[in-house]
Amino acid sequence: MNIYTGPWAYALDDKSVPASVRLRNLGAIGSTRDKHEARFGALSAQELPASDGSQLPTPAFSSIYGGAAYYGHYVIRRAEVKPGVTTIAAIIEAYSTGNADTYGNTVVRDSGLGMYEGIDLWRDPEGYLKLYRVMISMSKWEAGARSSSAPGYDAYMTVYNLADQAVVDELYWGMVHGLREAWRDQGYTIEVTPEEVFIYEAPEAPVEEDEEEPSDPLINGMSGWRTVISGGLGILATFFSAVFDIFGLENAEKLGNVTAQVFIGLAILFLVLKFWKRIERILKKGVKSLG
């Protein structure tokens, strides 16, 4: 199932637009301590006035699918009267909203259901559809969009265009996904269907670090240089000892200067060839540090 994630017509901080619309949180449901909203693609939360006058952190969502899923999850988490069953009365009570009677009666009228009529989401083939009608009625109330002349109507229809089947599918299946996730939280095993989309926040990209190179005494620390120098001196000592044994002290002194220069050149060449790979790494490290 394809989920639309923008671009959107309204910015999250556009206060001229109803919060339930600009936040794609169609139930205008507040954040939870356990951050259940995160699994449905929640974005940053905004402080909205609650019915008691306090400020309620309310999450935005990256899609209307995620907002509908959060609604479905809320219904089971807060308004399930018995396993798989809810009522309009239970949902309105869970909302603890102002004007509860008017709100509830409006939803009853719009949905065609009784206030205390059980909405059986497990056994009634129409159960999901009944709750969908309740959700849509509540979303229009929250947005102030109950009629075409209502102030929130145009913005509501821009984001929740109920004449667009793709929008309807996202809202319906988002709600169903949220219901099922809540039941899974309760320990029920429910098969995941193709219509269910898991929208988690993208993890932060890991910070790229320089590859750790193996410790090399030639590259890291003075101990490496001492090793090289002492090795070179050892070779020199061995060479001159052999010269003295063969030619004697007098002749060795005559050859000393030339021999020493030749040998030093050969020793340097030997060291360069032997440690070429390491010298390359030294040079690379030097270039990195300059960069």
Per-position pLDDT tens, the chain of length 291: 889 999 999 999 999 999 999 999 999 999 999 899 999 999 988 888 776 677 889 999 999 999 999 999 999 999 999 999 999 999 999 987 778 899 999 999 999 999 999 999 999 999 999 999 999 999 999 999 999 999 999 999 999 999 999 999 999 999 999 999 999 999 999 999 999 998 765 333 343 444 444 444 444 444 454 555 555 555 655 655 555 555 555 565 555 555 566 566 666 766 666 665 666 666 655 544 454
Segments in 144-221 forming alpha helices (H): 153-159, 165-185
> What whole-number distance in Å separates Cα of residue 23 and Cα of residue 63?
9
**Residue-level pLDDT at 222:** 45
**Residue-level pLDDT at 266:** 65
Q: Is residue 82 located within the same domain as residue 172?
A: yes
**Residue 220 DSSP class:** S
Residue 7 inside a domain? The answer is: no
Which residues constitute the domain of residue 234?
A: 222-290
Q: Is residue 154 located within the same domain as residue 54?
A: yes
Number of domains composing the chain: 2
**Residue-level pLDDT at 63:** 97
Q: Is residue 283 located within the same domain as residue 170?
A: no
**Residue-level pLDDT at 211:** 47
**Residue-level pLDDT at 182:** 97
Residue 35 inside a domain? The answer is: yes
Q: Is the pTM of this model over 0.75?
A: no
- Check if the beta carbon of residue 22 is closer than 8 Å to that of residue 46: no
Q: Is residue 156 located within the same domain as residue 249?
A: no
Strand partners, 136: none
Residue 196 inside a domain? The answer is: no
Q: Is residue 121 located within the same domain as residue 49?
A: yes
- Check if the beta carbon of residue 195 is closer than 8 Å to that of residue 177: yes
Peptide bond preceding 125 in cis form (omega within 30 of 0): no
Residue 200 inside a domain? The answer is: no
SS3 161: coil
